[in-house]
Chain A
Amino acid sequence: MKALLKGACFLAAILMISLMGYSQSVMTGKITDSDGKPVAGVSVGIKGKSAGTTTDAAGNFRLRLNPGDTLTLSSIGFESRQIVFKKVSDLKIKLTEENKTLSDVVVTGYKSQIRAEITGAVSTIKMDKITEGQAAESFGSLLQGKVAGVNIQLNSGEPGATPAIIIRGLAAVSRGDASAISEPLYVIDGIPIISRMSSEFAVTSTNVLADLNPSDIEDVVVLKDASAAAIYGSRAANGVILITTKKGKRGKPQINLNIRTGVNFVPQLRDVAGGVKEREQVKRLYDLYAPYGISMPAMYSDVTNPFYNNSSDWQGYLYNTSVTQDYNASIRGAGDFGQYSISMGYMDSKGILFNTGFKRYSLMANTSFNALKNRLIINNTLAVSRTDQGKNPDGLSTSYSSLIPLPDNPLVKGSEVYTPGHISNLNDRVRFSSDATLNILQNLSYKASLSLEYLRAMQDSYSESRRTLRATNQSAAGENQNLLFQNTLTYTPKFGNGHSLSILLGQSMEKTEAKTTTVNSVSAAPTLSQTVNWPKGGSIGSSNYGASTLMSYFSRLDYNFQQKYLLGASIRTDGSSKFGSANRWGVFPSISAGWNFAKENLFANSDWLTNGKIRGSFGLSGTTWDNNYLALGIMDGGKLDQYNSLIQIAYGGIAGFTPTWYDGFKNDNLTWVKTSMANLGVDLTLFQGKVEFIFDAYEKLTKGLLLSTSLPTTSGYNEVYRNAADVLNQGLEFTVSTNLRFGNDFTWGSNMNFAYNKNRVVKLPDGNADIIKVSTSGQDFGSIVRVGDPLNGFFFYESQGIYQAENQIPVNPKTGKKLVGLQNKNLQVGDRNFKDQNGDYIIDVSDRVYSGDPNPKWSGGWTNDFTYRGFSLNIVSTFVVGRDIVNTDLLDRLKLGKAFAGNGSLPNFDNYSIWEKSGDNARFPTLNPWSDATQVINYDSEYIEDGSYFKIRSATLSYTFNKRFIRRLPFDRMRVYCTADNLVTFQNYSGPDAELVTIDGYDMSKGYPMRRMFLFGVSISL
Chain B
Amino acid sequence: MKNKFLIIGCVWLISVLGQSCKKWLDQLPINTVTEDQAWKTGADAEGAVAAAFAIFRRALSGLTKDDTPATTRNGSWGDYYFWGDARSGDWITPNDDGDWGACFQNHLKERTELEPMTNWRLYYRTIEQCNLVLEKIPSITDGLTEERKKQLLAEAHFLRALAHFYAARIWGDVPINLEARNVKPLGREPLNDVMKMVVEEANIAIPDLPWKREGTIKESMSRGTKGAALAMKAHALMWLKDYQGASDAMKEIINSNIFKLVPIDQFRNLFDAGESEEVILEMYYDIKKGETADYYGHIMTYYLTNPYTSRSNLSLAVAKSKILEIYPDYARDGSDKRVPAFFQSIDFSVSASELRPVLADPLANGERAIMFAKFRKVKDRSYSLMEAPVPVFRYADILLLKAEADARLGKVADALINLNAVRTRAGIPEFTRDDAPTVIEEVLEERRRELIGEFQRVYDLVRLGRLHEFNSSITEQGEKDGAGFYPVSDEAFANNPNMEQTYYWQFNQ
Q: Given that A546-B29, A635-B33 are known contacts, is A654 also in contact with B291, CB under 8 Å in the complex?
A: no
Do the beta carbons of A658 and B69 come within 8 Å of each other? no
* CA distance in complex: A507, B20 (Å): 10
A714 touches B186 (CB 8 A): yes
Residue A712, interface by CB 8 Å: yes
Residues of A within 8 A of B183 (CB): 711-712, 715, 717, 720
Q: A545-B30, A577-B26, A714-B175 are in contact. Are A648 and B58 (CB under 8 A)?
A: yes
- Using A650-B54, A657-B32, A713-B119 as known contacts, list a sample of 16 further A-B pairs with CB atoms less than 8 Å apart, ordered by residue number in A: A507-B16, A543-B31, A545-B30, A638-B51, A643-B384, A645-B291, A647-B292, A648-B54, A651-B291, A652-B223, A712-B186, A713-B492, A714-B182, A714-B492, A715-B124, A715-B183
* Interface of A toward B, CB cutoff 8 Å: 375, 438, 440-441, 446, 448, 485, 487, 489, 507, 509, 511, 543-549, 551, 553, 575-577, 581, 584, 628-629, 632-638, 641-659, 661, 665-666, 709-718, 720, 766, 774, 776, 778
Looking at the complex, which of B34-42, B241-249, B393-401 is the stretch in contact with chain A? B34-42
Residues of A within 8 A of B24 (CB): 509, 511, 549, 551, 577
Given A645-B292, A652-B219, A656-B48: A577 and B495 within 8 A (CB)?
no
The residues of B that contact A584 with a CB separation of less than 8 Å are: 25
Query: Would you mind naming 11 contact pairs between A and B with Cβ atoms under 8 Å apart?
Result: A446-B9, A577-B24, A629-B27, A632-B34, A634-B35, A645-B290, A645-B293, A652-B286, A712-B185, A715-B177, A718-B67
Residue of A nearest to B494 (CB): A710
In the complex the two chains form, what is the Cα distance from A713 to B489 in whole Å? 10
* B184: chain A residues within 8 A (beta carbon): 712
Residues of the B chain whose Cβ atoms lie less than 8 Å from the Cβ of A634? 29, 32-35
Complex-state Cα separation, A374 to B75, whole angstroms? 72
Are A711 and B25 touching (Cβ within 8 A)? no
Contact A549 B25 (CB under 8 A): yes
Q: Which residue of B lies closest to A645 (CB)?
A: B292
Chain B neighbourhood of A509, CB < 8 A: 20, 24
Q: Is the CB of A651 within 8 A of B27?
A: no
Choose the segment among B126-134, B203-211, B324-332 that binds chain A (4+ C-beta atoms closer than 8 Å): B126-134
List residues of chain B with CB under 8 Å of any chain A CB: 2, 5-6, 9, 12-13, 16-17, 20, 24-38, 44, 46-55, 57-58, 65, 67-69, 72, 74-75, 119-121, 124-129, 132, 175, 177, 181-186, 219, 222-223, 284-286, 289-295, 297, 384, 489, 491-492, 494-496, 499
Q: Complex Cα distance A659/B491, Å?
A: 20
Q: How far is the CA of A665 from the CA of B38 in the complex (A)?
A: 12
Inter-chain contact A778/B72, CB cutoff 8 Å: yes
Give the chain A neighbours of B25 by CB distance below 8 A. Answer: 549, 551, 575-577, 584
Instruction: Find the B residue at minimum CB distance from A652.
Output: B284
Q: Which residue of B lies closest to A441 (CB)?
A: B2
Max chain B C-beta neighbours (<10 A), residue from A544, A629, A634, A658: A658
Minimum CB–CB distance for B195 against chain A, Å = 18
Q: Compute how far the CA of A507 lies from the CA of B12 in the bound complex, rounded to whole angstroms.
A: 13
**Contact yes or no, B44 A657, CB < 8 A:** yes
Contacts of A714 in B (CB 8 A): 124, 175, 177, 182, 185-186, 492, 496
Closest B residue to A487 by beta carbon equals B16
Nearest neighbor of B46 in chain A, beta-carbon distance: A654
> Residue on A with the closest CB to B23?
A549
Residue of A with least CB distance to B181: A665
CA distance A628 to B499 in the complex (A): 35
Tell me the minimal C-beta distance from B54 to chain A in angstroms: 4
Chain A residues with CB under 8 Å of B499's CB are 712
Say whether B47 contacts A766, CB under 8 Å.
no
Is the Cβ of B129 less than 8 Å from the Cβ of A658?
A: yes
For the complex formed, measure the closest distance between the CB of A598 and the CB atoms of chain B, giving whole angstroms.
Answer: 40
- Chain B residues near A665: list those with CB within 8 A: 35, 181
- Residues from chain B with a CB closer than 8 A to the CB of A629 are 27-29, 34
Q: Are B51 and A656 in contact (CB under 8 A)?
A: yes
- Bound-state CA distance A632–B29 (Å) is 10
Distance of B339 from chain A, by nearest CB (Å): 32
| Contacts A629-B34, A633-B34, A659-B35; A716 near B13 (Cβ below 8 A) | no
- Among A581, A646, A713: residue with most chain B CB under 10 A: A713
Q: Is the CB of B36 within 8 A of A633?
A: yes
Contact A647 B34 (CB under 8 A): no
A714–B182 Cα distance when bound, in Å, is 8
**In the assembly, what is the distance between CA of A635 and CA of B47, in Å?**
12
Closest to B50 in A: A654
| B16, B30, B53: the one within 8 Å of A651 (CB) | B53
Q: Which chain A positions have C-beta within 8 A of B489? A: 713
Task: Find out whether the CB atom of A766 lies under 8 angstroms from the CB atom of B297.
Answer: no
Q: Considering residues B2, B12, B34, which has the most beta carbons from chain A within 10 angstroms of its beta carbon?
A: B34
Q: Is the CB of B27 within 8 A of A658?
A: no
**How far does the Cβ of B299 sit from chain A's closest Cβ, in whole Å?**
15
Given A548-B27, A647-B57, A652-B284: A635 in contact with B494 (beta carbons within 8 A):
no
Q: For residue B143, give the distance in angstroms from its CB to the closest CB of chain A.
A: 14
> Are A651 and B125 neighbours in the complex by a CB distance under 8 Å?
no
Q: For residue B285, which residues in chain A have a CB less than 8 angstroms away from its CB?
A: 647
- Minimum C-beta distance from A485 to chain B (A): 8
In the complex, A375 Cα to B19 Cα: how many Å?
A: 27
Bound CA–CA A656/B284 (angstroms): 16
Across the two chains, which residue of chain B brings its CB closest to A513?
Answer: B27
- A636 close to B54 (CB less than 8 A): no
Complex contacts, A637 vs chain B, CB 8 Å: 32-33
Asked if B9 contacts A440 (CB within 8 A), the reply is yes
Known: A543-B31, A584-B25, A713-B121. A643 touches B294 (CB 8 A): yes
B128: chain A residues at CB < 8 Å are 659, 715-717
CA distance A638 to B125 in the complex (A): 14
The residue in chain B whose Cβ has the minimal distance to the Cβ of A776 is B69
Known contacts A547-B27, A648-B58, A712-B495; is A487 also within 8 Å of B13 by CB?
yes
Q: A544-B31, A635-B32, A648-B54 are in contact. Are A712 and B496 (CB under 8 A)?
A: yes
Q: Are B219 and A549 in contact (CB under 8 A)?
A: no
* Chain B residue with the shortest CB-CB distance to A584: B25
Known: A507-B17, A575-B25, A714-B124. A652 touches B50 (CB 8 A): yes
- CA of A7 to CA of B31 in the docked complex: distance in angstroms? 61
Task: Count chain B CB atoms within 10 A of each CB in A446, A643, A766 and give the residue with the most.
Answer: A643
Report the 6 A-B pairs with minimum CB-CB distance, sorted nearest first.
Answer: A656-B47, A716-B128, A633-B35, A643-B294, A654-B50, A577-B27
Whether A647 lies near B44 (C-beta < 8 A) is no
Given that A650-B289, A666-B36 are contacting pairs, would A778 and B6 also be in contact in the complex, using a CB cutoff of 8 Å? no
Point out the residues of chain A lying under 8 angstroms from B20, CB to CB. 507, 509, 551
Shortest distance from the beta carbon of A470 to any chain B beta carbon, whole Å: 20
Complex Cα spacing A536 to B12, Å: 58
| Beta-carbon contact of B222 and A438 below 8 Å | no
When C-beta atoms are compared, the residue in chain B nearest to A766 turns out to be B495
Give bound CA distance, A646 to B51, whole Å: 12
Q: Is the CB of A636 within 8 A of B284?
A: no
Contacts of A666 in B (CB 8 A): 34-36
Smallest Cβ-Cβ distance to A658: which chain B residue: B51
Nearest A residue to B184, CB-CB:
A712
A480, chain B: closest CB distance, angstroms: 15
Contacting pair A545 B29 (CB below 8 A): yes
Q: Taking A507-B17, A651-B53, A712-B492 as contacts, is the C-beta distance between A628 and B33 under 8 angstroms?
A: no
- Report A736 CB to chain B, min CB distance, Å: 46
Tell me which of B27, B69, B126 has the highest count of chain A C-beta atoms within 10 A of its own C-beta.
Answer: B27
Q: How far is the CA of A643 from the CA of B51 in the complex (A)?
A: 19
Which residues of chain B come closer than 8 Å to A581, judged between CB atoms?
Answer: 26
Q: In the complex the two chains form, what is the Cα distance from A544 to B29 in whole Å?
A: 10
CA distance A649 to B289 in the complex (A): 11
Name the A residues within 8 Å of B74 (CB-CB).
642
Contact A489 B289 (CB under 8 A): no
Query: Residue on A with the closest CB to B498?
Result: A712
B289 touches A652 (CB 8 A): yes
CB distance from A654 to the nearest CB of B (A): 4
Q: Closest approach, in angstroms, between the C-beta of A441 and any C-beta of chain B?
A: 7
> With the chains together, A632 CA to B33 CA distance in Å?
9
In the assembly, what is the distance between CA of A774 and CA of B29, in Å? 29
